[in-house]
Structure 1
Amino acid sequence: MTTQDTLGTLAGLDREASERLRGHRPAVTEAAEASLHALFDVPEDDEAPGLDRRLRLVAAARAAHVDGSDAVAAFYAEQLLEEADDVDAPGLAELVTGGADGEAGRAAGRAERALLRHVDLLVQRPAAATSDDLDALAAAGWGVVEIVVLSQIVSFVTYQTRVVAGLAVLQEASA
């Protein structure tokens, strides 16, 4: 069975180039794909019910946008737009690009604004995060499991942005 290679695809590589650049380490590709599915294929009985697929995709697209990865941000934004109906799509795109302080962010509920602020914090200044930041999420209505999953999403997306950037540099250097 051939494993999907989302990171290679996002870096603009075909399978052969991706495998060559990664040193033929299929376990790494498999682990990245498993993480992607574990975080975004949300079962009905998920332990983080408030963090549905739409919000997970908002968080992921926002994290990639803030991290400056157009390819990764577009990957999640495309999935987000597939989840949305035509009425919600413009507002969701604005949530991703504008964050908590953009027009859509200011119109969003307290929980979504807190989520967006936390995403920005973890991407831009992760060492500055304190227990007060976790308390702010809890005060906005997020449970412990949801906060952990949100943090895992941001961590995974920032990993993706770095691998995609690294693969692009390696590809350029080998050309």
Structure 2
Amino acid sequence: MAQPANPEASPWIGAAASAAAQSRSAIFEMSRQAESAVINPHDAGGFPSEWRRAIAARIATLNALPDLAAHYLADVTDPALRGLANPNTAGRDARERDVITFMDRVATQPRAVQAEEIEGLKTAGIADADIVRLCELNAFMSYQCRVLAGLAALKGASA
């Protein structure tokens, strides 16, 4: 299981989060634990940590959070995986293209996702447990993007 080069390097630690972290430290610690669970799970299934980091960077980019994207991309060393962080990259093969199309749609249009899209992943050979893992990653990224965008807005409002 790959660990970040600097375990303390986390978007949950920094200027935007510091004020909120002082009063909500348990929430931020639980958020860091959730991040670790979806990025570096004990059982990664068909999607290893570096792939997850690249997709997390992609989702952060889709949400206009370049610092968060850079955070995830920092520990991706494989050039082919780094390319997946670019939302204009479709994937390296048909299976990966299906997964990335699904991940992008969930990240940008969650209410529009249909059951048929889950079935499409199954048809592409994605195991049920891996579909759950993908959804967990996307759910966490949605949460993280919203919290960090909210903290940035609060910081701007108080400046």
Task: Please say if residues 119 and 154 of structure 1, whose CA atoms lie closer than 8 Å, have aligned partners that are also in contact.
Answer: yes
Q: Shift of residue 58 of structure 1?
A: 2.3
Task: Please say if residues 5 and 29 of structure 1, whose CA atoms lie closer than 8 Å, have aligned partners that are also in contact.
Answer: no
Q: Is 1:140 aligned to 2:124, yes or no?
A: yes
Q: Is 1:74 aligned to 2:73, yes or no?
A: no
Residue aligning to 1:95: 84
Q: TM-score, normalised by structure 1?
A: 0.77
Q: Shift of residue 49 of structure 1?
A: 1.9
RMSD value over aligned CA atoms? 2.0
- The sequence identity of aligned pairs, in percent, is 29
Query: What amino acid does structure 2 have at the position aligned with 1:93?
Result: R
Specify the structure having the higher radius of gyration (Cα): 1
Q: Shift of residue 80 of structure 1?
A: 1.7
Residue aligning to 2:16: 13
Uncovered stretches (5+) of structure 1, i.e. residues with no partner: none
Residue aligning to 1:165: 149
Q: Is 1:65 aligned to 2:61, yes or no?
A: yes
Q: Shift of residue 96 of structure 1?
A: 1.6
Give me the whole-angstrom Cα distance separating, in 1, the residues matched to 2:153 and 2:63.
Answer: 17
Query: What amino acid does structure 1 have at the position aligned with 2:111?
Result: A
Structure 1 window deviating more from structure 2 (144-153 vs 65-74): it is: 65-74
Aligned in 2, Cα 1:69/1:19: closer, same or farther, shift over 3 Å? same
Task: Please say if residues 61 and 72 of structure 1, whose CA atoms lie closer than 8 Å, have aligned partners that are also in contact.
Answer: yes
1:2-40 deviation per Cα after TM superposition (whole angstroms, max 9, x unaligned): xx6834436x4373x3435xxx02221121011011112
Q: For CA contacts below 8 A with separation 6 or more, give which structure has more relative contact order.
A: 1
Q: Which runs of 4+ in 1 moved over 6 A?
A: none
Query: What amino acid does structure 2 have at the position aligned with 1:35?
Result: A
Q: Per residue, is there more helix in 1 or in 2?
A: 1
Q: Count the aligned residue pairs.
A: 151
Residue aligning to 1:27: 26
Uncovered stretches (5+) of structure 2, i.e. residues with no partner: 1-7
Give me the whole-angstrom Cα distance separating, in 1, the residues matched to 2:65 and 2:54.
Answer: 15
Aligned in 2, Cα 1:157/1:174: closer, same or farther, shift over 3 Å? same
Aligned in 2, Cα 1:124/1:13: closer, same or farther, shift over 3 Å? closer
Q: Shift of residue 68 of structure 1?
A: 1.6
